[in-house]
Chains A and B, each alone.
Chain A
Amino acid sequence: MQVKTFLLGTVFCTLAVQAHAQDEMACKGQVSSLNVIGQGMPAVTELSNRLSEFNAKWDTEVRITLLGENERRARARLDASTGAGSYHVMYVDEANLAEYVSAGWVYPLADVVPESYDLADFRTDLRNVATIDGTQYFAPFVGGGDVMMYRKDLLEEAGLEVPRTLDDMVAAIKLLDAADNRAHGWAARGQRGSGMNVWRWTPFFRALGGEWIDDGMPAFNSPAGVAATELYKDLMAYAPPGIATFNWSDSVEAFRSGQVAILIESDVFGPWMEDVAKSSVVGKVGYAPPPDPLPSAGWAHGWAVSTVGAAEGCIQVVAGDFVGWATSKEMEQQRLEAGIASDIGRVSTLQSDAFKALVPQEYIDALLETGPKTDLLIMASPVWPEIGDTLGLALEEIFAGTRTDVQAVLDEAAFFAEDSLAGLK
């Protein structure tokens, strides 16, 4: 009896899976175009080279609109909130996930992406960032935490050890900046934005004991906030000219063109330093976790299916399959073959020989050592983009010197944040 039940069950399941697959493939040719809004990360630009495969599978045309980070966020928000629904697949990141989920603009991932894409293989740290209340909403293809990159040759010339504490790092930055080595001591993001200067300032703020909210009110204007801002501003004196408006690209390019001795940035930029075609510091860079007590800012970017753009059956099916295909194990292996080691979303890829062949062991060691320090450091709130951008502007004003009273500027940003938080209630 049990064998009979088992056989019947197996036949039923097989038929169900086949029927499901047939249902899905019934969508072939039904969606003339799939609109995707994205950001020019290496994984996304590389994806553009492989679209013909997906287009042929669904007899469709994938159109990817690439924008800068702030513009991408603004355009996607406008598209979803007005109900325009021009984009079927959205590029989501840690800063706007809470907003998208609370507004109901994205589907839970498991509802739209086929199981065959092995959702359990995504890196736990990235999956955590993509998850709210136990539900994962986007498929991450890049992310991680921070890593301290330093010029081994310059530290050696100056007789310095790798800094392990924040005080050591500040001292090393000052020494290296003063040394006759044609390099500045430090670089960091100064340009306004929740994902720009605020992102890099936040580890300093949290390291000094700062909390975003205290008793329901904004608290980043606390003594910890003031101290973090003053320290960050002080370090800018040892950075290349124009630092007050540097974005992450400016900082990374300054480092890999040999102008900077120490840089704390997102770990994905590690492999950029080893790119022979673009980096003048190949082989000279050491990697270490951010010095204590600096935490590491966890982040993740990925694809999600828009409930506004992909509300109808076949578009939803094709959009879900696109998200799975674009973040699949095979896609990551193809990226590694193309020499892209910065954008890794899956555990299986991290463990692959192809990845180990592309990056220095020291970098992998630093990643592993940094892991436990990595956490989502920003405020997990739907109004974070607004609060973060306001704070970013305040910080840029301080860094650029247009305003000098740090406490007053932070108080003003906190006052504005009260409005944003009140809007939630």
Chain B
Amino acid sequence: MTRKRFVTLTLIPAIGLLATLALVSIAGAIWFSVMNRTLRSADYEFVGLHNFLRLLRDRRFFNALENSIIWEAITVIGTLTLAVLLAVLIFETVKKPLWRNLICFAFLVPVLLPRVAAAFIWRFLYSPSLGVINYLCGLVGIGPVEFLANPSLALISVAVVDIWQWGLFFTVILLKLLETLPREPIEAAKLDSARTWEIHAYVTLPMLKGPLISLTLVKAVESLRSFDLIFVMTGGGPGTATETLDLYAYQMGINMGGRISYASAMSVLLLIVTTMAFVIIWKAGKKWTN
């Protein structure tokens, strides 16, 4: 048996299983999206593109789409920015390995917390009447601030929790990547009297371009799956201020009246839009790396 044949044969079961799982659920979603199935009744019939056309007239759908885009932008940019800044800060200021390891360990704790637990903790911290954050705000004469009940603050307040969990985790990864970089280019920049921020802006971070793009994509995919965090903290509210597409699909398909065909149409559209967006980002990233 040739090596190529061996690799192919060993990969087939895993890829077959993954493909089956993905294709069956996608096929199921497409099937339901052209029906008028609800959870209240076992009867349903073919309605063609009715669900998709109705989505185009649905104010809540466009609001959810807008929230999803804002959520993606805030959490991806926020996480990467926080991670880069903190990693560089620790890299430059904490020189002892023991301290660095202790900081890394502490930074890993938030991401190890289950999302639901983190959501409950922060919901309590944000409480206008009982929360620590509002207590601290009160000490400096601010508030009480309705972090989760104020429509203009709610989405960003939930995003802070996401950034807290993932930004610190990415900091650890970036710090370890910085430690593995060759010293020569950095020493050369120092000899040329480059300032610290210039060394990182023009030497170290460009050297980490590949990993940074990968981290961005990983975070972008992860941010699409923030249902649990938003659901526990705000349930999509106040009003529809934090209602993202996955949350709206859930509200329509499971929570409110069980319109699973309508929710499936939404999921299919979400799949198409995100696939297109990720292909564009991936190609742009590859071009930039090259």
Contact = CB atoms under 8 A, between A and B. Distances in A.
B38 interface: yes
Interface residues of B, number: 30
B112 to A, nearest CB: 24
A257 interface: yes
B241 A259 contact: no
A230 interface: no
Given A103-B40, A400-B149, A191 B255 contact: no
Interface in A71-109: 73-74, 77-78, 81-83, 99, 103
A241 B137 CA distance: 14
Nearest to A412: B59
A385 B144 contact: no
B257 A385 contact: yes
Which of A73, A74, A83, A259 has the most CB atoms of chain B within a 10 A radius of its CB?
A74
Given A78-B258, A81-B40, A242-B149, A402 B128 contact: no
Contact of B148 (A240, A245, A383, A402): A245
Contacts of B258: 77-78, 81, 386
Contacts of B129: 240-242, 254, 257, 259
B237 A245 contact: yes
A190 B127 CA distance: 15
A77 B148 CA distance: 29
B203 interface: no
B235 A382 contact: no
Nearest to A397: B239
A170 to B, nearest CB: 23
A172 interface: no
Contacts of B151: 400-402
Q: Do most interface residues of chain A lie in helix, strand or loop, or is the interface mixed?
A: helix
Contacts of A191: 235, 237
A396 interface: yes
B149 A245 contact: yes
Contacts of A73: 255
Contact of A389 (B39, B241, B255): B255
A308 to B, nearest CB: 11
A402 B240 contact: yes
A216 interface: no
B256 A241 contact: no
A257 B129 CA distance: 10
B130 interface: yes
A74 B240 contact: no
Interface in B30-46: 38-42
B240 A241 contact: no
Contacts of A259: 129
A225 B198 CA distance: 63
Q: Do most interface residues of chain B lie in helix, strand or loop, or is the interface mixed?
A: loop
Interface residues of A, number: 38
Contact of A242 (B39, B42, B127, B257): B127
A74 B257 contact: no
Interface string B233-265: 011111111000000000100111110000000
A396 B238 CA distance: 6
Contact of A243 (B38, B41, B149, B234): B149
Nearest to B63: A402
Contact of B128 (A74, A82, A241): A241
Nearest to A80: B39
B35 to A, nearest CB: 14
Given A81-B40, A241-B149, A423-B38, A393 B255 contact: no
A9 B52 CA distance: 68
Interface in B107-140: 127-130
Contacts of B254: 74, 77-78
B237 A192 contact: yes
Contact of A402 (B41, B127, B234, B238): B238
Contacts of A254: 129
B146 interface: yes
Contacts of A99: 40
Interface in A377-404: 382-383, 385-386, 389-390, 393, 396-397, 399-403
A400 B39 contact: no
Given A77-B258, A386-B257, A389-B257, A241 B239 contact: no
B58 to A, nearest CB: 11
A244 interface: yes
B257 to A, nearest CB: 3
Contacts of A352: none
A397 B150 CA distance: 11
Interface string B79-111: 000000000000000000000000000000000
Contact of B238 (A77, A240, A245, A389): A245
A74 B148 CA distance: 24
Given A77-B39, A245-B148, A400 B238 contact: yes
A371 B247 CA distance: 40
A76 B158 CA distance: 29
B153 to A, nearest CB: 11
Contacts of A382: 40
Which of B41, B128, B256 has the most CB atoms of chain A within a 10 A radius of its CB?
B256
Contacts of B236: 192
Contact of A403 (B38, B42, B145, B239): B239
Contacts of B237: 191-192, 244-245, 396, 400
Contacts of B256: 385-386, 389-390
A333 interface: no
B24 to A, nearest CB: 16
Contacts of B257: 383, 385-386, 389, 420
A244 B146 CA distance: 10
8 contacts: A103-B41, A191-B235, A242-B148, A386-B256, A389-B256, A390-B256, A396-B237, A397-B240
Given A242-B144, A393-B239, 10 more contacts: A191-B237, A242-B127, A242-B146, A245-B149, A245-B237, A383-B40, A389-B251, A396-B237, A400-B237, A401-B151
Interface of A: 70, 73-74, 77-78, 81-83, 99, 103, 190-192, 240-245, 254, 257, 259, 382-383, 385-386, 389-390, 393, 396-397, 399-403, 420, 423
List of 7 A-B pairs having minimum Cβ-Cβ separation, nearest first: A386-B257, A400-B238, A397-B239, A241-B128, A402-B239, A81-B39, A242-B149
